[in-house]
Amino acid sequence: MALFYVDGLPIGWIAIMLAVLASMGGFIFGYDTGQISDILLMDDFLLRFSTCTTPGDVSTCSFSTVREGLIVALLSIGTLVGALIGAPTADFLGRRYAMTAECVVFMIGVIIQITSFHSWVQFAIGRLVSGLGVGSLSAAVPMYQAETAPPQIRGTLTATYQLFITFGILVAYCISIGARDISGSGSWRTVVGIGLLWPLILGIGILFMPESPRWLTAHSRFPEARRAIAATRGIPESEAEDHFFVHRELEEMKSAIEFESKVKAGWIDCFKPQRMQLYRTLLGMTLQMFQQLTGANYFFYYGATIFTSVGISDSFVTQIILGAVNFGCTFGGMYVMERFGRRFPLIIGGVWQSIWLFVFAAAGTAKDPTTDEGIGKLMIVSACLFILGYAMTWAPGVWILIGETFPTRTRARQAALSTASNWLWNFLLAFFTPFIVRDIQYRYGFVFAACNLAGAVIVYFFLYESSDLSLESVDMMYCDPTCKPWTSRTWAPAGFNSRQDLVEQARAAEMHKPLEAGGGEETRFEKAGGPADAAPRV
């Protein structure tokens, strides 16, 4: 039974559940990101793994720039590799079983970390192994959500991945502030060890969700694909066989996959200019790069250290405030991306973020925040306003686009390449930030401000508006030579006057009330034919 209706089309509770459960992959990444910032400041962790001029005196202990960078950044190297192997793993095992296997890998990494005693190298290697799991999940989860979620709420459901990243960061901050007073190694081992719970929830729970109908269709498992579509739409399994909407959606998938399967897809196909493949691969990788270059992880990885340096007495509390802003505003981001599309929020977000990073950098450069309380507060406020904009635009927006920009035939590989770009820049920023901050201090914010402006420009000139379209129609749009990024908001498949016309036609089709199209019972949607009609057209 349908849980609710969007544009007259049914949405089942399974669609909501699978999006939330799969998003635990984002929670795992967020938790792992958030914990390291606070762990680096815990007394026992410093005594065990840093360099102390007076053994046993934590006030004399500190990490070298290289050691701190490696402990933080090796996670990103693992995620980079994991993102690349995540695509073939998801294609071979299926989206669900791949996620379960990747959760096991993450748990192995956590065990390596909590069994470290005095070797910082072992702890760093544990983060590297955990990164393999996180990176693979980052490729599989948005792809699974985009392929399974109904188009009417695909943006919102895919954005739950980013929402759970922010939730994981906030939870890590809260657990860290509670565990920091535990004596001995229990302080940091508690924070790291709790990380075993999250992959257990995802790895086991996802097995009770339906597999991606597009993956099932690609493997000729049509009855299972039919049941998966029916489940996400809240249609009883007994009615799936003959239900008009399920039949239409399955046939659309069959047509798209049949057309795409005529040419064998490999990694090299992601870089071919035909059908805008190279364009979309480079676009996805560039958007993921600029998501890192917004500067958000500058605050998430090194936030506690940053706020200590501006004179805040308890940087852990400030981290929680920043994490709460990040988490709370991501709810707004889910609405913004669904209500205003993809292009407009990213452009406005890039400009907004740039403004507040300029303020942050200028304030920290003009006066010493450790001696001027007003400057310190201004920097914290500007950081929070930056995070507000990021959480509502670039944070969820880029992950949504990775799930819906690429064609089925190469989606897994292109998503993997895009995600790998994210992790590569994640590593570069995590590792080199201590070196850069040591030399230019808060002027680092000017670099991120410029990158945000560049990202907004790239979105305007190169990104197509994909909201309200099925994944197959998105492919048609990119291959339409008459459509340009700045005019893509009004594009609709052949047979439709506008994008709103497409939505209304889909609603009428679901209600078994075809709009007049000059041809009896044949609807304009059927005449447009989606991918079946698209094959000769593109």
Q: Residue 41 falls within a domain, yes or no? A: yes
CATH of the domain at 175: 1.20.1250.20
Look at residue 110 in the predicted model and tell me its pLDDT. 96
Q: What is the pTM of this model?
A: 0.76
What separation in angstroms does the CA of 470 have from each of 233, 235, 484? 15, 19, 18
Which pLDDT does position 511 carry in this prediction? 53
User: How many domains does the chain divide into?
Assistant: 4
Residue 499 has pLDDT above 80, yes or no: no
Distance CA(390)–CA(392), nearest Å, equals 5
Convert the pLDDT of each residue in 95-150 to its tens digit.
Answer: 999 999 999 999 999 999 999 998 999 999 999 999 999 989 988 888 888 888 87
Helix or strand (DSSP H, E) at 99: helix 95-114
Q: 151-174: per-residue pLDDT in tens?
A: 777 777 777 887 898 899 899 989
- The residues near 45 (Cβ < 8 Å, ≥ 6 apart) are 39, 187, 188
CB 37, CB 319: distance < 8 Å: yes
pLDDT at 524 over 70: no
Task: Judge if 185 and 39 occupy the same domain.
Answer: yes
Residue 2 lies in a domain: no
Burial class (CB in 10 A: 0-12, 13-18, 19+), 63: buried
Range of the domain at 239: 218-262
pLDDT at residue 388 greater than cutoff 90: yes
pLDDT at 518 over 60: no
pLDDT-derived band at 529 (thresholds 50, 70, 90) equals very low
Q: What is the pLDDT of residues 270-295, one digit of tens each?
A: 999 988 999 999 999 999 999 999 99
In this predicted structure, the answer to whether residue 514 has a pLDDT above a threshold of 50 is no
Check pLDDT > 50 for residue 424. yes
What average pLDDT score do residues 43-53 get? 91
Q: Does a structural domain hold residue 522? A: no
pLDDT at 259 over 80: no
Tell me, what amino acid is at 203?
Answer: G
Q: Same domain, yes or no, for 173 and 230?
A: no
The backbone torsions φ and ψ at residue 367, rounded to the nearest 5 degrees and listed phi first, read -135, 160
What's the sign of the alpha-carbon dihedral 159, 164, 170, 176? negative
Q: Is residue 530 part of a domain?
A: no
**144-171 burial, b for 16+ CB within 10 Å, e for fewer?**
bbbbbbbbbbbbbbbbbbbbbbbbbbbb
Taking Cα atoms as reference points, which of 423, 480, 155 lies closest to residue 285? 423
Residue 237: CB atoms within 10 A of its CB come to 10
Residue 138 lies in a domain: yes
Mean pLDDT over 379-392 rounds to: 91
Q: Are residues 53 and 24 in the same domain?
A: yes
Please indicate, yes or no, whether residues 239 and 97 belong to a single structural domain of this protein.
no
